[in-house]
Amino acid sequence: MNVTFSFQILAGNGSARRGEIKTQRGIIRTPAFMPVGTAATVKSMFPDSVHAAGTDIVLANTYHLMLRPGAERIARLGGLHHFMHWPYPILTDSGGYQVMSLSALRKIDDKGVTFRSHLDGMLFELTPERAIEIQNLLGADIVMQLDECIKLPAPDSEVERAMKLSLHWAQRSKRAFEGATPGRALFGIVQGGTSPTLRKQSARELISMDFSGYAIGGLAVGEPQDVMLATIDETVPELPINKPRYLMGVGEPDDLLAAVESGIDMFDCVLPTRAGRHALAYTRLGKVNLKNAHHAEDPRPLDEQSQCPAARDYSRAYLHHLVKANEMLGAMLLTWANIAYYQELMEGIRVAISTGRLPEFAAATRENWKKEPR
């Protein structure tokens, strides 16, 4: 295919936008939620079900894939899309976040980061250039710059140092990405902790480098939701209107809804898949913990109005039984139901923006979330 990467805004409602990203692998309807396919699989789901649930794009992790099975191996096998049987768009992160959170003995300097694999202790090096090379080998449609993501709270000086290093790495990532095929895109990542000043500085310098999209990184790392939303509200106005805005690693359904209202277009998060493996279901009417004994004889499905077979066709009693018996089908059904609910929410959001009724949709949705007994 010979499609130029592009982003088009189709409708707006307050700060929220309904849009479409075109890639060589297909269209991404925004606001979009990207399920996480860490090791080239959205855990416990068949790719067909991921797509049928309304997913246009998945995220895969550079860190995990560079360690196992290796980016060069995936390239020899025809690229990540073919490898994981997912012909639709893929965004890969740069590996920076996982290096910080998972690896041992990491050493960061201006050049990049060296670390030992959490799997076997082998030594690896990740530079901005190598992060781009890996993502090119994987064949990602949306590529992320290498950044340094620190834990919050942190001293201002440390936040500023990491933000400036990330800007330096952004510049090198940009150079390394030059000449990539036109249907693919590189995003820069705004850092700066919860400091409006640092966020603005980061955003402005990134914009001067001209990326195809801008991510807000370094949030949802322990700060309260209102602090996260305030930081988003400080940052978004700095970003160009005509480029996708991606809030990394977020979040709960109510985080997504609030961030869309603040003008965010893209999200990824492990929550719906991880919760599915831990007996927690996200539904239209709130969260349901299937471990709870009061579900043992409950004949109701998670949500009889759902279009998803997992949420519609199996009783809570059965799901409770599967969870208690530690049966794989429990995780399979709950993950499927959760991804389907997240995508149902995103579709509801998109329709609401298109029809100018996002405030009403948001209010009704928030009311509904209170309906499941806690």
List active site positions.
93, 268
Among 78, 182, 222, 240, binds a copy of itself (CB under 8 A): 78
Q: State the Cα–Cα distance between residues 284 and 79, nearest whole angstrom.
A: 37
Query: Which C-beta is closer to a copy of itself: that of 61 or that of 201?
Result: 61
Strands 16-23 and 6-13 turn out to be antiparallel
* Ramachandran category for residue 285: left, alpha or beta (phi over 0 → left; psi -120 to 50 → alpha): alpha
Among 162, 269, 322, 358, binds a copy of itself (CB under 8 A): 322
Among 5, 83, 169, 187, binds a copy of itself (CB under 8 A): 83
Asked if 48 interacts with a copy of itself (CB under 8 A), we say yes
Query: Which C-beta is closer to a copy of itself: that of 69 or that of 348?
Result: 69
Query: Which C-beta is closer to a copy of itself: that of 327 or that of 347?
Result: 327
Asked if 118 interacts with a copy of itself (CB under 8 A), we say no
Q: State the Cα–Cα distance between residues 184 and 2, nearest whole angstrom.
A: 10
Write down the H helix ranges in 103-149: 128-138
Among 181, 292, 315, 354, binds a copy of itself (CB under 8 A): 315
Nearest to 342 by CA among 263, 287, 304, 294: 287
Contacts to a copy of itself from residues 4-43, by CB under 8 A? 39-41, 43
Q: By the 8 A CB rule, do 350 and 266 touch?
A: no
Shortest spacing between CB 180 and a copy of itself, in angstroms: 25
Omega before 272 within 30 of 0, i.e. cis: no
Asked if 73 interacts with a copy of itself (CB under 8 A), we say yes
The full DSSP string for 264-317 is --EEEESHHHHHHTTTEEEETTEEEETTSGGGTT---BS-TT-SSHHHHSSBHH
CA dist 229 to 48, 219, 232, Å? 34, 9, 5
Contact segment (CB under 8 A) with a copy of itself among 1-9, 44-52, 121-129, 366-374 equals 44-52
Contact segment (CB under 8 A) with a copy of itself among 8-16, 45-53, 105-113, 157-165 equals 45-53
Contact footprint for a copy of itself (CB under 8 A): 39-41, 43-46, 48, 68-69, 73, 76-78, 83-85, 296-297, 299, 309, 313-315, 317-318, 321-322, 324-325, 327-329, 331-332
